[in-house]
Amino acid sequence: MNSNDTLLEVKDLQVSIADSKILKNLNLKINKGEIHAIMGPNGSGKSTFSKVLAGHPAYSILDGEILFKGISILDLEPDERSHLGIFLAFQYPIEIPGVSNEDFLRLAYNSKQKFYNKPEVGPLEFLTIINDKLKLVNMSPVFLSRNVNEGFSGGEKKRNEILQMILLDSELAILDETDSGLDIDALKTISMGINNFMDSSKSILLITHYQRLLDYIKPDYVHVFQDGKIIKTGSAELAKELENKGYEWLR
Amino acid sequence: MINQSNKVLNTNITKLVNKTYQYGFSTQIEKDIIEKGLSETTVRLISSKKNEPEFLLNFRLKAYKKWKQMQEPVWPYLKFPQINYQDVTYYSAPKSQKKIKDLNELDPELLETFEKLGISLTEQKRLANVAVDAVFDSVSIGTTFQEELSQCGVIFASISEAIHEYSELIEKYLGSVVPIGDNYFSALNSAVFTDGSFCYIPQDTICPLDLSTYFRINDQNAGQFERTLIIAEKNSYVNYLEGCTAPQYDTNQLHAAIVELIAFENATIKYSTVQNWYAGDKFGSGGIYNFVTKRGLCAGANSNISWTQVETGSSITWKYPSCILMGDNSHGEFYSVALTNNYQQADTGTKMIHIGQNSRSRIISKGISAGKSKNSYRGLVNVTNKAIGARNYSQCDSLLIGNQSNANTFPYISVQNSTTKIEHEASTSKIGEEQIFYFLQRGISLEKAVELMISGFCQEIFTKLPLEFAAEADKLLTLKLEGSVG
């Protein structure tokens, strides 16, 4: 594969928060069309990694490089990274009182349109766009008039994340434990949404604790995180092995 | 870590919304000004300058004597250096006060000032559906649409003009809702008030235009003491708007106003304010000290008084627009958004005094505190023993921005009969770093994110404002929050 197909490249990344080092010499390369899964024990730095990619201001980059589509994004603001095509589905989606989901979604959509010098859409036009996407994640239009994530159940919040992912159609989707707390039906719905989103021009980075999600979304690579770096990389089979043996055998 | 990330967000938002107070300019104009200080002589001088009838001079002198015996209230949750009342100018007016018939003849400097504030007084450009009374320092410089209004019997004039033209009405009603000795600042205002607006809506009349007064403090040392009196006779309706701005000085200016409303049987008065006095700089120096007594009397059965306020300016705000619900089935409302940033302090709320049977009141208060500001809601719901079947609903929501701001709620409820129904709800929330990050991750800029959250929080109030005001208020709040999110 030539370098034009590389979407994300992380080199020797070292990250700290409040003087404690979380990521140590992390290396990862994701090509277009690939699905990567990250597994690993709690506190190994998986969520930190997802937030660092999205540009959360709480973390300090000590060393290393993150290239997205060949350019360094270390100095870019979170919203600029979003426009470039990085999407993070949050582990704990944030509640925003007083702001309707519809306004939020439209604003997000239009911000991206504006960034790419495309026309912004009005509320009516947006409704036709969003209604199609709602079906993909099996959400009722009633969700649009409710405040963003406010009073949503765990499953509804996660579906809302996937809805946003499909709407913004970003090239790199980072899914931080999107499967946790879901029942089987919700897991199926979400997996369908994700598979629907995926194509050869995009990539997905899945962070998960469980093999069961990988039954629906087949990863090309599985990485095991331990102590802020990747200690093992394998195929989808590795996830099954981990499910049986736990992480201890890797130490 | 938190400090560091706050810094990042703060620099961001400062970049995005760092606009200075756009009304901070001052107008160079020849002034008729009296010496600083307050004494009986000052009071007499003001009265004689305005060529007032005897009853008003006596009213003022009585107020001055009262004031001298009174003390500033100590109960508000406000901290500021002792005000030196002898260091304030009590009268400042643009010169050339000859009576003008046509507003186009006004001093171009003054017209331009109001033009810059977005208030056009000239015939060609003035707002089509709003009549404006423009008050500059101590005097009203012009009132639009007076003639048109008088055709349906509506009187809209500066209070100085009304004192001469409609002295019986003034003598009868001035001080009838807010008595001279009601509080320290009402006594002060009653002694030295210089101008303001007077509205009279006759029986069975729906005022065809919105009425509006625009207050501008220009002089650095001048206090502004305005007085507004609105009377709505039986079956009448009026919508009144008040706006205010001031130049940016590094000293504090004093503003102590009184607004009195009287609604008779079946009458409705809606009073809306967008208060945008200069709030001081980000280190807390300068800004207006705003001590205002606003009170409405629902005198007749089925009368309505509704206060809507958006308080964004002033370094100190002390203000409790209230309703005395005397008439049976009368209805009082208070809708408020108070925003404080930097070192601003606000102690604001309302009083609902239920006397009439089945009187109802509704209080919705939204406080937003950012920076190192203090924002307090203080409200009284008082149901007397005569107010059988009275009802009140209160809701007080606070929104905190950042880690150093302060929000308080002081509700007082006093009920003297058992047929009353009172509800009180309160909430506190916070715009935090994680919410901002969520917006940013979805590609929504910081500016938009804050705007959306603030207007969401204030929506209930903005829908109560007249349309032109609502959009303005929305923008104003976003502007005021420069560098405060993190």
Taken in order of first residue, the domains within chain A and their CATH numbers are: 3-250 (3.40.50.300)
Question: Could you read off the pLDDT of A106-153 as tens digits, one per residue?
Answer: 999 999 999 999 999 999 999 999 999 999 998 999 999 999 999 999
pLDDT at B216 over 80: no
Please give the residue of chain B at the shortest CA–CA distance from A54: B441
Gap between the terminal Cα atoms of chain A: 32
Specify the range with the lowest mean pLDDT, choosing from A45-49, B66-70, B100-104. Answer: B100-104
Predicted local distance difference test score (pLDDT) of residue A2: 47
CA distance A235 to chain B (A): 30
| Cβ atoms A18, A224 nearer than 8 A | no
Asked if the Cβ–Cβ distance from A88 to B441 is below 8 Å, we say: yes
B183 vs B70: CA distance, rounded Å: 8
What type of residue is B34? I
pLDDT at B11 over 60: no
Predicted local distance difference test score (pLDDT) of residue B134: 78
Predicted local distance difference test score (pLDDT) of residue B33: 79
Please give the residue of chain A at the shortest CA–CA distance from B438: A94
A172 vs A7: CA distance, rounded Å: 8
Tell me, yes or no, if B126 comes closer than 8 A to chain A by beta carbon: no
Predicted local distance difference test score (pLDDT) of residue B206: 95
Specify the range with the lowest mean pLDDT, choosing from A39-43, A179-183, B10-14, B207-211. Answer: B10-14
A57 vs A79: CA distance, rounded Å: 12
| Cβ atoms B3, B476 nearer than 8 A | no
Please give the residue of chain B at the shortest CA–CA distance from A94: B435
Find chain A residues with C-beta within 8 A of B5's C-beta: 56-58
Asked if the Cβ–Cβ distance from A17 to B1 is below 8 Å, we say: yes
| Cβ atoms A200, A35 nearer than 8 A | no
Predicted local distance difference test score (pLDDT) of residue B19: 45
Q: Which of A179-188, A237-246, B126-135, B356-365 has the highest mean pLDDT?
A: B356-365
**Secondary structure of B316-341 in the HEC alphabet?**
EEEECCEEEECCCCCEEEEEEEEEEC
Asked if the Cβ–Cβ distance from A96 to B453 is below 8 Å, we say: yes
Average pLDDT over residues A69-97: 95
Select from A58, A90, A98 the Cβ nearest to the Cβ of B1. A58
B411 vs B391: CA distance, rounded Å: 16
Predicted local distance difference test score (pLDDT) of residue B482: 60
Specify the range with the lowest mean pLDDT, choosing from A49-58, B394-403, B469-478. Answer: B469-478
- Domain spans in chain B, listed from the N-terminal domain onward: 2-480
Predicted local distance difference test score (pLDDT) of residue B127: 59
Token code pair at residue A109:
């959509």
| One-character DSSP codes across B420-440 | -EEEEEEEEEEE-HHHHHHHH
pLDDT at B2 over 60: no
DSSP bridge pairs for A223: A38, A233
Q: What value does the mean pLDDT of chain B take?
A: 85
Handedness of CA B476, B477, B478, B480 (dihedral sign): positive
Specify the residue for token string 């079956």.
B235
Predicted local distance difference test score (pLDDT) of residue B371: 87
Tell me, yes or no, if A61 comes closer than 8 A to chain B by beta carbon: no
CA distances from B387 to B119, B203, B296, B412, B418 (A): 43, 27, 17, 17, 10
The angle, 0 to 180 degrees and rounded to 10, between the axes of the packed helices B54-69 and B184-192 is 150
Find chain A residues with C-beta within 8 A of B12's C-beta: 77
Question: Could you read off the pLDDT of B222-268 as tens digits, one per residue?
Answer: 788 989 999 999 999 999 988 877 677 777 888 899 999 999 999 99
pTM: 0.80
pLDDT at B6 over 70: no
pLDDT interval class at A248 (50, 70, 90): confident
Predicted local distance difference test score (pLDDT) of residue B8: 40
Select from A18, A79, A104 the Cβ nearest to the Cβ of B445. A79
CA distance B485 to chain A (A): 13
β-bridge pairing A71-72 and A60-68: antiparallel
Average pLDDT over residues B332-353: 93
Cβ of B396: how many Cβ atoms within 10 Å?
24
Which of B396, B406, B322, B336 lies closest to B79 in space, CA to CA?
B406
| Cβ atoms B222, B88 nearer than 8 A | yes
Average pLDDT over residues B54-70: 96
Average pLDDT over residues B204-229: 84
Asked if the Cβ–Cβ distance from A97 to B443 is below 8 Å, we say: no
Asked if the Cβ–Cβ distance from A94 to B435 is below 8 Å, we say: yes
Question: Could you read off the pLDDT of B389-415 as tens digits, one per residue?
Answer: 999 999 999 999 888 889 999 999 999
Find chain B residues with C-beta within 8 A of A108's C-beta: 442-444
pLDDT interval class at B129 (50, 70, 90): low
Find chain A residues with C-beta within 8 A of B459's C-beta: 98
Please give the residue of chain A at the shortest CA–CA distance from B427: A97
Specify the range with the lowest mean pLDDT, choosing from A60-74, A111-125, A230-244. Answer: A230-244
Specify the range with the lowest mean pLDDT, choosing from A67-76, A79-88, B207-216, B347-356. Answer: B207-216
